[in-house]
Copies of this chain bind each other. A is one copy, B any other.
Amino acid sequence: MHYAAPIADMRFALEACADFWSLRERYRDLDEDTLAAILEGAGALAAETLAPLNRSGDQAGVILKDGVVTSAPGFQEAYNAFRQGGWQGLAADPAYGGQGLPRALALAVMETVHSANMSFGLLPMLTLGAIEAIEQHGAADQKALYLEKLISGEWSGTMNLTEPQAGSDLGVLTTKAVPRADGSYAITGQKIFITWGEHELVPNIIHLVLARIEGAPAGSKGISLFIVPKFRDADGSRNAVRCIGVEEKMGIHASPTCTLAYEGATGWLIGAENRGLAAMFTMMNAARLNVGMEGVAVAEAAYQKALAYAKERKQGGALIIEHPDVRRMLMTMKSKIQAGRAICYATAVAADAGDKAREDLLTPIAKAWGTDLGVEASSLGVQVHGGMGFVEEGGAAQFYRDARIAPIYEGTNGIQALDLYGRKLLGDRGDAMQALIAEGRVVAGSSHPKLNAALDALADATAYMLAAPREDAQAGAYAYLQLAGDVVGGVLLVKGGARDANAEQAALLRFYARTVLARAPSRLAEIKLGAAVLRSEDFAR
Contacts and interface: CB of A to CB of B under 8 A. Distances in A.
A391 interface: yes
A238 interface: no
A522 interface: yes
Given A316-B169, A407-B383, A311 B539 contact: yes
What is the oligomeric copy number?
2
Interface of A is mostly: helix
Contact of A382 (B315, B392, B393, B404): B404
Interface stretch (A99-107, A131-139, A524-532): A524-532
A525 B534 contact: no
Nearest to A304: B541
A50 to B, nearest CB: 20
Contacts of A504: 537-538, 540
B539 A328 contact: no
A302 to B, nearest CB: 13
A247 interface: yes
Contacts of A247: 391, 393
Interface residues of A, number: 90
A77 B330 CA distance: 45
Given A167-B387, A315-B168, A325 B478 contact: yes
Given A311-B539, A316-B168, A397-B250, A526 B534 contact: no
Interface stretch (A32-40, A64-72, A413-421, A431-439): A413-421
Contacts of A413: 383
A417 B325 contact: yes
A303 to B, nearest CB: 10
Contact of A521 (B474, B522, B534): B522
Nearest to A310: B539
A434 B418 CA distance: 43
Nearest to A387: B193
Interface stretch (A177-185, A225-233, A510-518): A510-518
A316 B536 CA distance: 22
Nearest to A375: B379
A504 B538 CA distance: 7
Given A515-B529, A518-B526, A537-B331, A404 B390 contact: yes
A248 interface: yes
Given A167-B387, A471-B324, A518 B522 contact: yes
Given A167-B387, A316-B168, A379-B375, A392 B249 contact: yes
A190 to B, nearest CB: 14
A77 B521 CA distance: 54
Contacts of A165: 314
A83 interface: no
A310 B541 CA distance: 13
A118 interface: no
A533 interface: yes
B325 A474 contact: yes
A321 interface: yes
Interface string A214-247: 0000000000000000000000000000000001
Given A167-B315, A404-B382, A391 B510 contact: no
| Interchain residue pairs A-B with the least CB separation, the first 7 | A507-B536, A518-B525, A325-B414, A250-B397, A324-B475, A169-B316, A327-B534
Interface of A: 6, 8, 162, 165, 167-169, 171-172, 192-193, 247-251, 307, 310-311, 314-317, 321, 323-331, 334, 375, 379, 382-383, 386-387, 389-393, 397, 400-401, 404-405, 407-409, 412-414, 417-418, 471, 474-475, 477-478, 503-504, 506-508, 510-511, 514-515, 518-522, 525-526, 529, 531, 533-541
Given A387-B409, A389-B404, 6 more contacts: A328-B478, A331-B534, A390-B408, A504-B537, A504-B538, A519-B519
